[in-house]
Structure 1
């Protein structure tokens, strides 16, 4: 059986046994005219007046975008927002790149993300989570930290958050309020948002919006300085826009999450010995840090003691920001990593991603097919795969001729689940939204 995984920009073809079970939703077609659909959403939004009527010509306008690790079609959304607000002088706009804890984007990258006209005519800044001079303290979160958000955002007269909605491995779904928190937050706030207790809570998982503390915190902080308008989209495997959700932050985001849940949450009758997954291809599979999402999706349907094979190009390395790769050097095994991270005294930038990865590794062996060196992969306590089909052949020796295989060609764009409870997960996710 031939199948193609989303991998890098070109995909990865595999020849697998006919018994392999492909787990993916029906691929929704892209909108026939996405520009028309976006304009219609801006003029007839969910829960607000038309965007144009909400903004005065004298207003300063902040537009929040997701960074280069996300496939949000900023090059379509942002120009249409500016066009819709043509009565506002270009000098009144600022675009804030929601890097969270990720690296800054370069001018060349902004041109790829937004188009040359936007880069040449609109002020664009990267959020600086470590620089308190660029942040504003909005008070105290009930989760136990001071709340810092980007100063240009807080001081703008009108605030717009853009994004793309997909299942998320601890926030339930991405998009909406996550564009603000953690997208343009300060490091103190982000560290609490990503601490071991929050990430390890069984309610902090794929597709769950009920009593999810991570989603609860991001919504709490948004209420402290709420975006006046949201523009989010959903995408198919070709990264084409399938639907548009615009208007009041929570109402529009909830409708978008329900739409994604209907198409992306796929029930499986059983667990599998082997789960092969992508990391949704470029841009999400640019580094090993992001590849944890593909591992986490596969974890949901792999047997305990089974194996996960994740195909993630990692053209940008490990990555080069934060402490992701350094944390692995502080322990000998995934089990001891979890013990270390769960110690309330331990606090280290990027620990949340290592925590999620270690949970999957304790449950199953994890192999990585990528452009990384063996040394880089093994340094993250993972096993390199140079050829997925040959890796499967080796695993036959361990699991036998009846070895069961599932494949997630779209990676974490598809969230499979089984109706059972396992450590660190919530059962019955399809019922939880």
Structure 2
């Protein structure tokens, strides 16, 4: 009899469960998240109570609210509904409130996609704008020899609210905070600068914000441009909001990062190292170009999770297929032919998704890595190549899950 695991699947789209079959003698450890109770509308009002005070003090004629896109998994609709209600109670009309989607170099959202992030009521009644790296203006600042240009709608707004979910990030420590501006609403020059610096190994660290040189650099620049009110959002595994932290963008982000680290961290496991790690990309499983976020448990574990001869299986719905990134996608400024992943140190890497083609897979991952779009073919491969009584570690929310060695 086969062993079956159930893992969450297709954030923003199907929101279902994938049944994955493993060899019958597998010894499975399933590592989930410690979810917190989702915040209520009343909690949102209490947490954002200082917003109206600040708005009344500055007396702006318009307000711009910056949010992240669908590659970031937080469901913002309940929070945004409370927020606009609060702004209306402060005397602001619908046409005085706008939304800017911080895409960085990602693909612009359609109306349907924007409704998933903002909510149907906001998309139908408020003006919302996709960030365009070409719609930027100079800030008067430089990063080395690179001019810092920022979204013109942001620079022209009287009052700027920035909202971002926090998820573990390979070089920014956690997403959000100053990163919502750099590279979130910057021009391609700055977007390229941020990614080149990290690719060359100059700065950045997974899950670390206090001693993170990359974050310190972008925070210094953002402080000179200004964020009037920041909301850092920590999510549960099902993408509901576990907590929010409001106020100064740097301080609130630090507090949110502490809470995120608490919720997302799995302690060292007595049964490691494993013969097989199953890293499910949910809730960042919208596209192939985001699938590498699933490696977070392995990268954070400092080599303690996987046997020398072990294998890694990444699963991702890739509901939007290959996806888009202006730098790293095919034809992008920093695109390179895929090579073996160095951090795997020669271990086997497998990938499963029913929504991409082998050709798409090979544009992002090394061509010799086995790719599966059929569950039965994957099962047969595992049955043939795993040892008897294989130890299997499953991370169903791998793009969120940090492992403490």
Q: Same fold (TM over 0.5)?
A: yes
**TM-score, normalization: structure 1?**
0.80
Residue 37 of structure 1: which of 36, 43, 55 is its match?
43
Q: Counterpart of 2:394? A: 407
Shift of 1:95: 1.0
Alignment partner of 2:298: what SS? helix
Moved over 6 A (4+): 352-355
Shift of 1:361: 5.2
In structure 2, runs of 5+ residues without a counterpart are: none
Residues 303-356 of structure 1 show CA distances to partners (whole Å, capped at 9, x for unaligned) of 4453211110112121244354537xxxxxxxxxxxxxxxxxxxx63549969x
Is the Cα contact below 8 Å between 1:64 and 1:95 reproduced in 2?
A: yes
Q: Counterpart of 2:221? A: 221
Inter-partner Cα distance in structure 1 for 2:182 and 2:327: 20
RMSD: 2.7
Inter-partner Cα distance in structure 1 for 2:218 and 2:348: 32
Are residue 73 (structure 1) and residue 102 (structure 2) matched?
A: no
When residues 170 and 365 of structure 1 are mapped into structure 2, their CA distance, relative to the original with a 3 A threshold, is farther
Q: Counterpart of 1:102? A: 106
Q: Counterpart of 2:129? A: 125
Are residue 307 (structure 1) and residue 307 (structure 2) matched?
A: no
Q: Counterpart of 2:179? A: 178
Is the Cα contact below 8 Å between 1:97 and 1:127 reproduced in 2?
A: yes
| Richer in strand (by share) | 2
Q: How does 1:25-424 map to 2 (within 5 A)?
A: 25-31=33-39, 34-43=40-49, 50-56=50-56, 57-86=59-88, 87-129=91-133, 131=134, 133-142=135-144, 144-195=145-196, 197-199=197-199, 201=201, 204-269=204-269, 270-281=272-283, 284-299=284-299, 300=301, 301-322=305-326, 324-326=328-330, 349-351=333-335, 358-360=341-343, 362-370=345-353, 371-379=355-363, 380-381=365-366, 382-387=369-374, 391=378, 394-395=381-382, 397-398=384-385, 400-401=387-388, 403-418=390-405
Shift of 1:267: 3.0
When residues 111 and 72 of structure 1 are mapped into structure 2, their CA distance, relative to the original with a 3 A threshold, is same
Is the Cα contact below 8 Å between 2:27 and 2:389 reproduced in 1?
A: no
| Richer in helix (by share) | 1
Inter-partner Cα distance in structure 1 for 2:327 and 2:253: 32
When residues 353 and 412 of structure 1 are mapped into structure 2, their CA distance, relative to the original with a 3 A threshold, is farther
When residues 362 and 349 of structure 1 are mapped into structure 2, their CA distance, relative to the original with a 3 A threshold, is farther
Alignment partner of 2:198: what SS? helix
Inter-partner Cα distance in structure 2 for 1:296 and 1:397: 27
Aligned length in residues:
383
**TM-score, normalization: structure 2?**
0.85
In structure 1, runs of 5+ residues without a counterpart are: 44-49, 328-347, 419-433
Alignment partner of 1:40: what SS? helix
